[in-house]
Amino acid sequence: MDAGLLEQMLLGALLGLSVYLPLRCGQLSLATPGFFAIGGTVAALLSTREPALAGSGSTYPITSVLLEMAIAAMLTGVLAMGLGRVVLRLRGIYLAIATIALVEILRVVTLNLEFTGGALGIFGIPQPFDSAAGYASFTLALLALICWLCDRLEKTRPGRAMAAIRDDDLAAASQGINTADTKLLAFVLSALVAGITGVVAAHFFNSWNAKLGNFDASITTLAFVVFGGSRTWLGPVFGGLLLTALPELLRPVGDLRLIVFGVVILVGPLFFPQGVVTPELLKTLKRRIRLPPTPTAQGGKP
Amino acid sequence: METLLQVLFNGLSVGAVYALFALGYTLVFSVLGVINFAHGAIFTLGAYFTYLLIGGAVGANGLLAGLQLPFALPFWLALPLAGVAAAALALMVERIAFRPLRDRGSDPLLALITSLGAGVILVNLIQLLVGAESYSIPVGTLGSLPAALSIAGAKVRSVQVILLAIAGLLLAALSLWIDGSRSGKALQAVSEDPITAQLLGINSTRMIQIAFGISGFLAGMTGGLVGLSVSIAGPYFGIGYGLKGLGVLVLGGLGSVPGAVLGGLIIGLAEACVPADLSGYKDAVSFGLLFLVLLIRPQGLLGRPQSSKV
Amino acid sequence: MSLLQVENLGVRFGGLQALKSVDLEVQQGEIFGLLGPNGAGKTTLFNVISGLTAASSGSVRWRGACLDGLSSHRIARLGIARTFQNLRLFSSMSCLENVLVGLHQHGRQPSLAALLQTHSFRRREAQLHQQALELLALFQLEASSHQNAASLSYGDRRRLEMARALASRPQLLLLDEPAAGMNPAEKDELQELIRRIRNKFKLTVLIIEHHVPLMLGLCDRLAVLNFGQRIALGSPEQVRRDPAVIEAYLGVGA
């Protein structure tokens, strides 16, 4: 497979995870492209304007990329903490629209500011890798790390609290769960993932402009999660990989590709209302792989 | 220098478009509790229908290159016909993107995605058929009207006057229908409590279709009007309006008809008041306004507070 | 000092006075019943105690300290747990997971240990699972521990909600119509079960229930609410003979 496409798919999976985190807690936040744009802008600005980061070799040092990621994470984290306190009081579709408004405000401001390059954006972002394969391996490692963190989160106390809030936040509060803090945690984690992903994307795309964080992106990333499934981290990863690849894989059908893409996201939820990847599916798969087809002691409930 | 009256007029005509857009969302939201993301695409198609019906020719880039209807209707006839076509399209969207989910009792959130899928299909279908170039509806189709009218010393484009007049007419007709007619009352009942309404003998599937039909009609007409007063800027031009319409919808309060009108006018006027040298920030002004209102009044200006029963 | 004091409590929703100067004192260890027709304000009283509804006037005291303005998770952490009249289970989770959420406040572990799955982390998680299973066993739900909560029978769901509430190790348990939807045999068992958990966990129980025989047999003391006001208070025998109660239930002249 083309490494460049693979890299885009991996970025899609990361953005899917960013939308998934608040959604797992029942919060429909569409702020991901905004934090993604902030991460990208931070990387673009630092790597093109800060000579100290450029290093002496022919390629841009990876340590500098890591430093940009740390700075982007700090910035998006602090911002999400402040904004989250305010917007997470809204529910359902109101939260979704308030986050869309945030993303739009950010986009318009980036578009009009001098130092972010206006509508054209920032060009010539230095390359830490000399091939798309280099990017893909770096991003794969990042994705693996974040998946692992999500997996741990799901299987431990805060993850259980998130799932409980999603099912019924009043009942969750009555079990002693601080629902406001738990929602904020999910929102901040989502922002961190998006911000870090933006840093990698800015280097990979080589240029950065305000268009990369717009309303379309909000909805596409949401489609990753709804299509893939929002009850386990594997869902958004699957959805992000597949739906990013789909328009490219459909290139042979030419102009029809976006129409086919539309058909897929139209039909997907009809056949997989919980998303394609669900915890039940995973359980079934596990059982198929691990256990011989004999009745087990546990499954004997009438 | 623009006079205050001109600013007011610009604001009102943009605001009226937003209000009509938000009303389309609101009608569907009030019966189903979800946002129809294909609404922008239906608006866009309404504009293209109008263009074709007045006898406009398709450019060179689509599958339908060079197509022109054998007749040319006057604008005042083409516009409602485009509205009807858009309504038919909205019914189709309901049939393929909403009803299957409802039949299966799925999470309403999924309709956001399925309707988005329908929107993506429609927009790309337009691109495939008529290309990505922009089209404009010549003012000549209106008959022999002067390009601008002089009202109290201010020059106002006559297309804006027409847009405002038709928008006002549509808004008035809609509120009359909702408050005065049997089906309008039934629609309110379904939005209050779908199950009870069903028990009282209201056919909620029928009401949902009516809501989609009217919202599609409004979207189609609005598309034609915007096509006339601005231009049809390619297959994606509905998205920006759709987004603004969402903002207006929430600003006014979900499910509230007067709220949608009020929200539309507020945002339209606020945008018109942005001075020319800061016009790049126009969109930020409207969304900033929306954001502030949500923080102070989470249910929107005229919406009812949300509460959950224990 | 009594465990829970409700003082002159009033709640107003717009034009509706849901509760009007209600006074109650619940003593440590007792099973205290709330009776009253539908709409009398019983659930509203529960909602105020558990922090879901704000009082318009008066106050609720827990061991002498005022609970006003505390959010519901704080109140839960003080040792007040509840069930809900219309069942609010976590419907996407298994029975076991529901109870594990109930153990939330007692399951705190260092984040690093959780990430690295250290030995002590896994031992503690195993302990939590064990506790959850024991609670399920107490309510005869151990066989369905991996079953989805939404797939249980109505009576089982009621019992699961009680198990989840107990998981937070409360001192006061608020039960909102625990017998609703249960068959007569289940109702008889329920009475026994509530007594048993009261003794085993040294609980105080405040219970709302319409099934009068169950309430008279189970409760140490009862209060009767009607139209938001307390119209009677006392032992089951006293309440049963109270003319105001007879009137509220059967109408004037009965």
C86-101, pLDDT tens digit by residue?
999 999 899 999 999 9
Chain B residue nearest residue C87, CA to CA? B310
DSSP code string of C58-89: EEEEETTEE-TT--HHHHHHHTEEE--TT---
User: Å from C223 to nearest chain A CA?
Assistant: 24
Catalogue the long-range contacts made by A79-86 (C-beta closer than 8 Å, 24 or more residues apart): A79/A35, A79/A38, A79/A191, A80/A31, A80/A35, A80/A187, A80/A188, A80/A190, A80/A191, A80/A192, A81/A184, A81/A188, A83/A31, A84/A183, A84/A184, A84/A187, A84/A188, A85/A184, A86/B295
User: Å from C86 to nearest chain B CA?
Assistant: 8
For chain B, the chains sharing at least 3 beta-carbon pairs closer than 8 angstroms are A, C
Cβ proximity of B301 and B262 under 8 Å: yes
Helices marked H in chain B:
4-32, 39-53, 75-93, 99-103, 110-130, 158-180, 182-192, 194-199, 204-229, 237-252, 257-272, 282-296
C interface toward A at CB cutoff 8 Å? 50-52, 71-73, 76-77, 81-82, 84, 88-93, 97, 100-102, 104-105, 107-109, 114-115, 117, 125, 143-144, 146-147, 164, 167-168
Overall average pLDDT of the C21-30 stretch: 95
One-letter amino acid at B73 equals L
User: Å from A61 to nearest chain B CA?
Assistant: 37
Say whether pLDDT at A297 is over 50: no
Cβ proximity of B211 and B31 under 8 Å: yes
Q: What SS3 class is residue C226?
A: strand
Q: Give the per-residue pLDDT at B115.
A: 92
DSSP code string of A25-94: TT-----HHHHHHHHHHHHHHHHHH-HHHH-SSSSPPHHHHHHHHHHHHHHHHHHHHHHHHHHTTS-HHH
Considering the entire predicted model, what is its pTM?
0.89
- Mean pLDDT score across all residues of chain B: 86
Say whether pLDDT at B310 is over 60: no
For chains A and B, what is the number of CB pairs under 8 angstroms?
A: 130
Q: Give the per-residue pLDDT at C27.
A: 95
Cβ proximity of A212 and A33 under 8 Å: yes
Overall average pLDDT of the B276-294 stretch: 84
Q: Give the per-residue pLDDT at B1.
A: 47
- A264 contact partners, CB below 8 Å, separation of at least 6: A227, A243, A246, B117
- Chain A, window 212-241: residues with a beta carbon less than 8 angstroms from a chain C beta carbon: 231
A167 lies within 8 A of chain C by CB: yes
Domain with CATH 3.40.50.300 in chain C: 2-79+170-250
> What is the sign, positive or negative, of the torsion defined by CA atoms of A120, A124, A128, A131?
positive
Q: What SS3 class is residue A136?
A: helix
A185 lies within 8 A of chain C by CB: no
Chain C residue nearest residue B309, CA to CA? C86
Q: Which residues of A touch B41 (CB under 8 A)?
A: none
Answer yes or no: do A160 and C100 touch at CB < 8 A.
Answer: yes
Predicted ipTM of the assembly: 0.90
Of the pLDDT bands very low, low, confident and very high (cuts 50, 70, 90), residue A186 is very high
Residue carrying structure tokens 């963190």 = A149
- Integer-rounded Cα Rg, in Å, for chain B is 19
d(CA A301, CA C146) in angstroms, rounded, equals: 10
Q: What SS3 class is residue B129?
A: helix
In CATH, which superfamily holds the domain spanning C2-79+170-250?
Answer: P-loop containing nucleotide triphosphate hydrolases (3.40.50.300)
Q: Which residues of C touch A160 (CB under 8 A)?
A: 97, 100-101, 104
Say whether pLDDT at B300 is over 90: no
Answer yes or no: do A171 and C91 touch at CB < 8 A.
Answer: no
Say whether pLDDT at B165 is over 70: yes
Q: Which residues of C touch B310 (CB under 8 A)?
A: 43, 47, 52-53, 84-85
Q: Give the per-residue pLDDT at C3.
A: 94
Per-residue pLDDT reduced to its tens digit, A218-271: 778 888 998 899 889 999 999 999 999 988 888 887 777 788 888 988 998 888
A297 lies within 8 A of chain C by CB: no
Determine which helix (DSSP H) or strand (DSSP E) holds A19, and give its type and residue range. Answer: helix A3-24
User: Å from A23 to nearest chain B CA?
Assistant: 11
Nearest-CB residue to A175 (from C52, C101, C146): C101
Residue carrying structure tokens 């129980």 = C205
In angstroms, the Cα distances linking A289 to A151, A155, A284, A286, A301 are 20, 21, 9, 5, 21
d(CA B35, CA B115) in angstroms, rounded, equals: 8
Instruction: Fill in the DSSP letter of residue B147.
Output: S
